[in-house]
Amino acid sequence: MTQLQSRPAAGREGINRRGSLEPRDPRSPRRSTAVALLLACATLITLDKTGGVLDPVRRVTGEVLGPAESAVSTVARPITSVPGWFHTRDGLKSRIADLQEQNAKLQEQVRTSDLDRNRLAEYDGLTRTAESIGYAVVPSRVIALGPAQSFHRTATIDAGSASGVRPDMTVVAAQGLVGRVLRVTSTTATVLLITDGDSTVGGRVGSSMKVGFVHGDSDLGDGGANQLELQLVDRSSIPRRGDTVVTWGSAKAAPYVSGVPIGQVTSAYASVRDSSTTAAIAPFVDFGALDLVGVVVPSGTSSDRAIIDADGRLKK
């Protein structure tokens, strides 16, 4: 390697200021290349910032790399689930205690909730007749998560346009809202998580029915606590600790359908500076361990896989 370097390459010599020939290392960066590449970066940034010129390129890249990501994720699932096996004895004990307590509480609730349930059934029937749009869910798995180095919270799921997924559809997990679909390829879709700094979801406080906007506070850490912020439109009302926040839904159910639980209020404070009420929300979904999610599609969507229909049945 050293020999190759010290040997002056033919045709690559330059004339220096004193007018004599000077051998040039062919591997050292050339100024023209640097300038060209820097300009290319600037052009790309401008193009992408101003409009969706690069969307077809993104789509093609996704079509090629999506299946590979899907395959690696599937193969690696037994390995990546290893950290979940390790629990300390104390951890398990306290978990059992927690679950027993929760169980007791739930049983109590079940005993006292007959009346509530009957009333709820009535309301449910009412809603069903008033609103004939049922939702179905396309089940899919998360195959890639964007790194925090990119300062964005995005994920790739293994359902794409072939499964009936389109941009601006709601993505949910069993626990609650996950995000919305940004763009799709035939086999994958990119999802903007609600914890992303750019994400805004219309939210409603369950107990007071007050509406507001839930932002990701772009704190990229996992752990689940306080990753969201709720800003209420009505500045006089302060949500209580433990209140549940659900989506209030967008027009034509895109990008968010209504009534999906988002998270729980952990603290609320009124800001004097911009005279608004802000509440910290802990999301129900653990974004550090996202796996099985569902994309909400209109009932009757044709898909290459089984769809969980509005009545909870699996439909092919």
Of residues 184 and 205, the one with the C-beta less far from other proteins:
184
Question: Where does this chain touch other proteins (CB under 8 A) — which range of 132-140, 212-220, 259-267, 269-277?
Answer: 212-220
For the CB of residue 149, give the shortest distance to other proteins in the complex, in Å: 5
Tell me whether residue 155 or residue 245 sits nearer to other proteins (CB atom). Answer: 155
Q: Are 220 and 153 in contact (CB under 8 A)?
A: yes
Q: Which is nearer to other proteins, 26 or 300 (CB)?
A: 26
- Residue 212's DSSP bridge partners are 203, 232
The token duo for 307 is: 């769809």
266 burial type by CB count under 10 A (0-12 exposed, 13-18 middle, 19+ buried): middle
Compute the distance between CA of residue 125 and CA of residue 282 in angstroms, rounded to an integer.
31
Could you identify the residue written with the tokens 């910290």?
Answer: 280
Of residues 153 and 210, the one with the C-beta less far from other proteins: 153
Should residue 147 be labelled a site residue for other proteins when binding is judged by CB under 8 A? yes
Q: Round the CA-based radius of gyration of the chain to a whole number and report it.
A: 27
Among 91, 134, 197, 300, contact with other proteins (rule: CB under 8 A):
197
Binding mask 17-56 for other proteins (x = CB under 8 A): --------xxxxxx--xx--xx-xxxxxx-xxx----x--
Supply the minimum distance, in Å, between the C-beta of residue 154 and other proteins: 4
Nearer to other proteins, 75 or 306 (CB): 75
- Best CA proximity match to 197, nearest among 179, 219, 180, 170: 219
Residue 281 CB, nearest distance to other proteins (Å)?
18
- Report how far Cα 128 is from the mean position of its chain's Cα atoms: 29
